[in-house]
Amino acid sequence: MKLKVLVVAGDGIGPEVTREGVRVLKTVAELGGYDFEFKEAPIGGIAIKQHGSPLPASTLDTALESDAVLLGAVGGNEFNSLPPDRRPEAGLLQLRQALGGFANLRPSFAYPALASNSPLRPEVVDGADILFVRELLGGLYFGEPRSWNRDTNEAWNTMRYTRDEVVRVARVAFELASSRRKKLTSVDKANVLEVSQLWRATVIEVAAEYPDVTLEHQYVDACAMHLMNTPRNFDVVLTENLFGDILSDEAAVITGSLGMLSSATVGGQINLYEPVHGSAPDIAGKGLANPLGAILTSALLLRHSAKLEQDALAVETAVRKVLEQGHRTADLARGQAGQPIVSTQEMGKLVYQSLNEMIDRRQAMHAV
């Protein structure tokens, strides 16, 4: 197994948490005998300082020559006065566009050890394991025409999808559902929106290719409620861009901390992997950042780009074990009196030690 990974750690806590994600990937490569090659390049605020652009041409070129891109986070208060197209976040948007991924995957997983971190009752979140597949390049965020006419005090956006755009993202969602618990919930607002009627008709068409997957449809408003009442009833949730943006943030409360959330954007030329959180300037450089979102993002890279499912599962299990042993970064220990706190680096080390032990045991079993 050979894989070229570009690491764009970015700003704030980006480099701290990405370092731990890369360390885990290196551990997996070493133990499995895989040939992972890592290159680093600047993006965001650091790239503005070094190269005058949030996405230097050299970073983009290296990204396009890679098999996968692993991102930390971009942004910082010192750049807030720049116009939107010159800010660090513009670099990330340009990179996402250039890599072309149209399906954003966001797992929402309830860790029993973190049940008290969720605002939902433990008996509600217990066992929840949802994978959102959000269409990322279409819908209201990109549709034309769009404008704000200040003379007439009118503004408008356009929600537009083609059948082909729905087919390709639906196939990604059905494939993933096939490999999980074989249930797909497609979210729309087909009682009001024509775009949703096209969405629903197309998803039903694609469903015929996946007879082993049970398809259900939910209106977005009802789905928002069911996610909080009965999160265990969901497996894969397929949504258009705007609905997915809102629902995946809503469902993040199941996991209990922003620092635990991972994401992957797939379907384009090159997959992009990034934790959900931002650059967190308030805690940057203090060893307070939770690296588990970045480490779980590395697990997604192992699953979707390296196709190493067993190793991806091993990383996810190592994270679960470390939490079960009671180790907490500051964000996870909040409100839990007397909870010992580990630093970003210590948490990373605990995960790769646990991973080492697990992979060693697996290899020993194979050798018998």
Residues that bind ligand NAD in the complex, under the rule CB under 6 A: 13, 17, 73-76, 89, 92, 258-259, 274, 277-283, 289-290, 293, 331
8 A C-beta contact, residue 272 and residue 299? no
Q: Nearer Cβ to ligand NAD, position 73 or 323?
A: 73
Stretch (H or E) spanning 7: strand 2-10
List the catalytic residue out of 39, 67, 129, 141.
141
Q: Nearer Cβ to ligand NAD, position 231 or 259?
A: 259
Q: Nearer Cβ to ligand NAD, position 104 or 290?
A: 290
CA distances from 237 to 197, 344, 362 (A): 17, 31, 33
Identify which of 128, 107, 124, 109 has the alpha carbon closest to the alpha carbon of residue 232: 128
Catalytic annotation on 249? yes
Count other C-beta atoms under 10 Å from residue 288's C-beta. 18
Q: Nearer Cβ to ligand NAD, position 17 or 322?
A: 17
Q: How far is CA 110 from the centre of its chain?
A: 15
Catalytic annotation on 321? no
Q: What is the largest CA-CA distance in the chain?
A: 78
Q: Nearer Cβ to ligand NAD, position 100 or 281?
A: 281
Supply the minimum distance, in Å, between the C-beta of residue 252 and ligand NAD: 11
Q: Nearer Cβ to ligand NAD, position 256 or 278?
A: 278
Separation CA 239–CA 276 (nearest Å): 18
Catalytic annotation on 61? no
> Which tokens hold the place of 149?
């006419």
Q: Spell out the residues 6+ positions from residue 148 whose beta carbon is closer than 8 angstroms to its own.
A: 154, 155
> Which tokens hold the place of 239?
């949504």
Supply the minimum distance, in Å, between the C-beta of residue 51 and ligand NAD: 18
Q: Spell out the residues 6+ positions from residue 339 whose beta carbon is closer than 8 angstroms to its own.
A: 326, 328, 333
Catalytic annotation on 273? no
Q: Where are the beta strands (DSSP E) in 136-291?
A: 147-149, 154-156, 183-188, 214-219, 236-239, 262-266, 271-275
Supply the minimum distance, in Å, between the C-beta of residue 218 and ligand NAD: 27
Count other C-beta atoms under 10 Å from residue 362's C-beta. 15
Sign, CA dihedral 231-237-242-243, equals negative
Upper half-sphere CA count for residue 263 (Cβ side, 13 Å): 28
Q: Nearer Cβ to ligand NAD, position 205 or 282?
A: 282
Q: Where are the beta strands (DSSP E) in 33-176?
A: 35-40, 68-73, 103-109, 129-135, 147-149, 154-156
Tell me the catalytic residues. 141, 189, 221, 245, 249
